[in-house]
């Protein structure tokens, strides 16, 4: 199962990096990662959703197998990230916007808190919180900095845990 977890995390990380790199190269830095979805045209319209689904599923797989019993903090965070892709058209109406934001904030919050509540690592949880605050300070109405910081820290932490405790 360790190979499955690491392979799924690696696949999700690469998908996210390739997506972000290509968006930045073609369209520049957007207001947020989710906002980049509105700059995609057919046949690439579903790329953002697919990347979020891959990241969410990889996180859910990690939550299922990283410990002997399922880790619901990690699974819940993965579901939140998956739902970001489901509710990707967040400018369409208020319900979708609320669902999108709740999914994104909830997913990142559950994943950040999982390092303490599931793995007993308060230090890493504090590092994530402090770096999120710093990234928010640099955001200047663009939350992509915060999103990239959180995504990088979540993936680094899950890779580390998969290598050390599995």
pLDDT tens digits for range 136-152: 888 777 788 889 999 99
Distance between CA 102 and CA 109 in Å, rounded?
Answer: 10
More confident residue, 42 or 91: 91
Residues 32 and 41: beta-carbon distance below 8 Å: no
Helices and strands, number each (H, E), in the chain: 6, 0
Q: What is the pLDDT of residue 61?
A: 98
DSSP state of 37: G
- In which band, very low, low, confident or very high, does the pLDDT at 118 lie, cut at 50, 70 and 90? very high
Produce one character per residue of 77-96: b if its CB has 16 or more CB atoms within 10 Å, e if not: bbbbbbbbbbbbebeeeeee
- In which band, very low, low, confident or very high, does the pLDDT at 156 lie, cut at 50, 70 and 90? very high
Residues 100 and 88: beta-carbon distance below 8 Å: yes
Average pLDDT over the chain reads 94
Q: What is the pLDDT of residue 98?
A: 97
**Is the pLDDT confidence value at 72 over 90?**
yes
Distance between CA 139 and CA 13 in Å, rounded?
Answer: 22
**Is the pLDDT confidence value at 154 over 80?**
yes
Identify which of 127, 62, 156, 91 has the alpha carbon closest to the alpha carbon of residue 82.
62
Residues 110 and 76: beta-carbon distance below 8 Å: yes
């Amino acid at each position: 199962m360790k190979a499955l977890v690491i392979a799924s995390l690696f696949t999700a990380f690469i998908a996210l990096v390739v997506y972000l790199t290509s968006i930045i190269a073609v369209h520049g830095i957007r207001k947020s990662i989710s906002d980049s979805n509105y700059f995609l045209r057919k046949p690439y319209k579903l790329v953002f959703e697919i990347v979020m689904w891959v990241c969410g599923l990889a996180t859910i797989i990690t939550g299922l197998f990283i410990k002997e019993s399922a880790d619901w903090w990690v699974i819940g965070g993965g579901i939140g990230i998956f739902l970001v892709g489901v509710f990707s058209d967040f400018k369409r109406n208020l319900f979708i916007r609320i669902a999108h934001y709740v999914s994104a904030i909830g997913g990142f919050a559950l994943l950040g808190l999982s390092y303490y509540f599931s793995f007993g690592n308060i230090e890493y949880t504090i590092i994530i919180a402090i770096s999120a605050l710093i990234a928010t300070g640099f955001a200047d109405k663009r939350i992509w900095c915060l999103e990239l910081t959180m995504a990088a820290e979540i993936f680094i932490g899950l890779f580390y845990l998969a290598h050390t405790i599995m």
